[in-house]
């Protein structure tokens, strides 16, 4: 018996990529990892940096039933790095262990890894299935190291949101 594919979404947060002056390199890596793990996932949506654009993009991805949403970019300390600020109002409950592990692994690779301010958590929507949301840093290296961590728990989180046993 095959497991049903869950809908996933990827949001790349980048002023330059959204303006067309740079290519989105990290979003396609996340999409590929999700598809390889059996999720149904369209190509990444690219939005400019800023809390409002992130919040709106997250809400737009949740509406059609995305069970897993990964953002990439905007988690640093630059003036426009506001992905966590756009994510926080959408989350119902945070799952700090996911991003703690992502930061731990990233810091082993480079000391700057500890500067990521990404969040992870779930969104409980009345009358709709819950959604796992994880913010990743925007570098391809960060995505490559973080996606195995996210994928190690993503299906379990979705099962738990559906009322599954521990």
Residue 166 in domain: no
DSSP 107-151: HHH-GGGGG----EEEE--TTS--EEEEEE-SSHHHHHHHHHHHH
Residue 46 belongs to domain spanning: 7-161
Inter-axis angle of helices 26-36 and 140-161, to 10 degrees?
40
CATH number for position 116: 3.40.980.10
Q: What is the pLDDT of residues 138-161, one digit of tens each?
A: 999 999 999 999 999 999 999 999
- If one counts the domains in the chain, the total is 1
If pLDDT is split at 50, 70 and 90, which confidence band does 3 have?
low
**Residue position matching structure tokens 């779930």:** 122
N residues, the chain: 166
The β-bridge partners of 148 are: none
Across the chain, mean pLDDT equals 95
pLDDT higher for 95 or 163?
Answer: 95
- The pTM (predicted TM-score) of the whole model is 0.96
Residues 6+ apart with CB under 8 A from 104: none
Give the mean pLDDT of 121-150: 94
Residue 2 in domain: no
């Amino acid at each position: 018996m095959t497991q049903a594919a869950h809908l996933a979404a990827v949001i790349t947060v980048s002023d330059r990529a959204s303006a067309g002056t740079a290519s989105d390199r990290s979003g396609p890596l996340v999409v590929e990892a999700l598809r390889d793990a059996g999720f149904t996932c369209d190509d990444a949506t690219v939005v400019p940096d800023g809390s409002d654009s992130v919040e709106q993009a997250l809400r737009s991805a949740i509406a059609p039933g995305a069970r897993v949403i990964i953002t990439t970019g905007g988690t640093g300390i630059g003036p426009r790095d506001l992905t966590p600020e756009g994510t926080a109002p959408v989350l119902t409950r945070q799952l700090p262990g996911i991003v703690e592990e992502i930061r731990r692994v990233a810091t082993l690779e480079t000391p700057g890894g500890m500067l990521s301010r990404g969040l992870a958590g779930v969104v409980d929507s009345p009358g709709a299935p819950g959604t796992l949301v994880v913010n990743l840093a925007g570098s391809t290296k960060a995505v490559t190291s973080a996606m195995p961590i996210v994928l190690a728990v993503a299906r379990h989180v979705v099962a738990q949101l559906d009322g599954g046993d521990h």
